[in-house]
């Protein structure tokens, strides 16, 4: 006698001899092995192919209904695994960052800033946003520097873009990361003080030397005389560097577009 799940279309009926062992191995055991190996996309692809083949026959059968049910569940499982993967990375990076920096809370919104120019020309600034440890490009902003064009003053330029940022009614960050050393940190701190914002801020400067292992990045904090050097394997350091590098990439991209445009004027 077939089981209850066979009667409701959720089993192939191996217990009642409704399907051969070879077919059961092909349709159940092998997909299960793929699932346990994390190859969910491959399973989905195979299910979609089988569904398409049955639909071409233009018949609604129990097998077709079962395959559609399996496909729906597999897509849900894939979506859940993606969410879990992002959450685990968020927790690993950002929670450690909050502990090391002694932040009042886990930073859900991190803003990174950088300046790009050549001897003060085509000077621009970038603001990038990481939400829960991941880039949120819809929140990125770029700034064309208004003051000091033609003068190499990265510190003054950084302060300008931060002041312009806080003149806008955008969501406030839980942490600000600026590319640079103590001078950039002080400039950013003065910009925050002007608007009376109590927002944690750090500056990250590349160490001197050709090899990062020999000269690790240095982190500067307000009120701290000596910079902090985190282990190269630190998830928190990796996150800070990702924010710094993304701000640099975004600023350089805008700077190059302005220079390219100027050539044709």
Which has more pLDDT, 191 or 17? 191
Three-class SS state of 253: helix
In this prediction, residue 113 carries a pLDDT of: 98
Q: What is the average pLDDT value for the chain, to the nearest integer?
A: 82
Q: Do residues 35 and 152 both lie within one domain?
A: no
Asked whether 123 and 142 are in contact (CB, 8 A), the reply is: no
Mean pLDDT of 162-178: 95
In this prediction, residue 105 carries a pLDDT of: 86
Q: Token pair for residue 148?
A: 């000091």
Note down the domain range covering 23. Answer: 4-99
Q: Do residues 92 and 115 both lie within one domain?
A: no
Mean pLDDT of 198-227: 81
Choose the final residue of a domain: 62, 78, 99.
99
Least confident of 8-22, 35-49, 126-140, 153-167: 8-22
Q: Do residues 86 and 116 both lie within one domain?
A: no
Q: Do residues 11 and 60 both lie within one domain?
A: yes
In this prediction, residue 153 carries a pLDDT of: 85
Q: Measured at the alpha carbon of residue 128, what is the angle toward residues 234 and 120, in degrees to the nearest 5?
A: 105
Q: Please, which residues have CB within 8 angstroms of residue 135's CB and are 6 or more apart in sequence?
A: 128, 129, 246
64-86 tens-digit pLDDT = 777 787 778 777 766 655 544 54
Q: Do residues 81 and 108 both lie within one domain?
A: no
Asked whether 154 and 116 are in contact (CB, 8 A), the reply is: no
Q: Do residues 185 and 56 both lie within one domain?
A: no
Which has more pLDDT, 247 or 42? 247
Q: Do residues 47 and 131 both lie within one domain?
A: no
Choose the final residue of a domain: 40, 69, 99.
99
Asked whether 199 and 224 are in contact (CB, 8 A), the reply is: no
Q: Please name which of 67, 125, 98 lies closest in space to residue 247, comparing C-alpha atoms.
A: 125
Q: Do residues 11 and 24 both lie within one domain?
A: yes
Q: Do residues 77 and 160 both lie within one domain?
A: no
Q: Measured at the alpha carbon of residue 222, what is the angle toward residues 217 and 215, in degrees to the nearest 5?
A: 15
What is the C-alpha to C-alpha distance for residues 186 and 239, in angstroms, rounded to an integer? 22
* pLDDT bucket at 8, cuts 50 / 70 / 90: low
Predicted TM-score (pTM) above 0.85: no
Q: Measured at the alpha carbon of residue 36, what is the angle toward residues 32 and 42, in degrees to the nearest 5?
A: 70
Q: Please name which of 226, 231, 227, 225 lies closest in space to residue 212, comparing C-alpha atoms.
A: 231
Asked whether 162 and 199 are in contact (CB, 8 A), the reply is: no
CA dihedral over 203, 209, 210, 215, signed as positive or negative? negative
**Residue 25 confidence (pLDDT) above 90:** no
74-126 tens-digit pLDDT = 777 666 555 445 445 556 788 888 888 888 888 999 999 999 988 778 899 99
Task: Work out the percent of the chain whose per-residue pLDDT is above 70.
Answer: 77
Could you tell me the CATH number of the domain that includes residue 175? 3.30.420.340
Least confident of 165-169, 204-208, 247-251: 204-208
Q: Do residues 82 and 140 both lie within one domain?
A: no
**Residue 239 confidence (pLDDT) above 50:** yes
Q: Cβ–Cβ contacts within 10 Å for residue 263, how many?
A: 6
Q: Token pair for residue 144?
A: 């064309």
Choose the final residue of a domain: 99, 126, 147.
99
Task: Work out the percent of the chain whose per-residue pLDDT is above 90.
Answer: 38
Q: Looking at the 3D structure of the chain, how many domains does it have?
A: 2
Q: Do residues 169 and 192 both lie within one domain?
A: yes
């Amino acid at each position: 006698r077939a089981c209850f799940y066979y009667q409701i279309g959720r089993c192939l009926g191996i217990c009642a001899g409704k399907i051969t062992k070879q077919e059961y191995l092909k349709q159940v055991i092998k997909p299960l092995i793929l699932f346990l190996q994390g190859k969910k996309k491959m399973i989905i692809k195979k299910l979609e192919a089988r569904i398409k083949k049955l639909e071409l026959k233009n018949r609604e059968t129990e097998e077709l209904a079962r395959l559609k049910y399996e496909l729906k569940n597999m897509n849900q499982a894939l979506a859940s695994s993606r969410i879990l993967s992002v959450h685990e990375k968020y927790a690993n990076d950002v929670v450690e960052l909050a502990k090391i920096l002694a932040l009042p809370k886990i930073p859900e919104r991190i803003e990174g800033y950088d300046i790009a120019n050549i001897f003060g020309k085509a000077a621009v600034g970038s603001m990038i946003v990481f939400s829960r440890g991941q880039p949120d490009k819809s929140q990125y902003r770029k700034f064309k520097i208004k003051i000091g064009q033609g003068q190499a003053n990265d510190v003054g330029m950084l302060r300008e873009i931060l002041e312009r940022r806080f003149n806008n009614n955008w969501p406030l960050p839980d942490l600000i990361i600026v590319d640079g050393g103590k001078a950039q940190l002080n400039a950013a701190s003065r910009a925050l003080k002007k608007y009376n914002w109590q927002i944690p801020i750090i500056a990250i400067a590349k160490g001197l030397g050709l090899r990062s292992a020999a000269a690790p990045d240095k982190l500067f904090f307000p009120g701290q005389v000596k910079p902090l050097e985190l282990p190269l394997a630190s998830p928190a350091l990796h996150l800070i560097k990702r924010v710094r590098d993304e701000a640099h990439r975004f600023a350089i991209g805008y700077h190059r577009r302005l220079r390219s445009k100027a050539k044709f004027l």
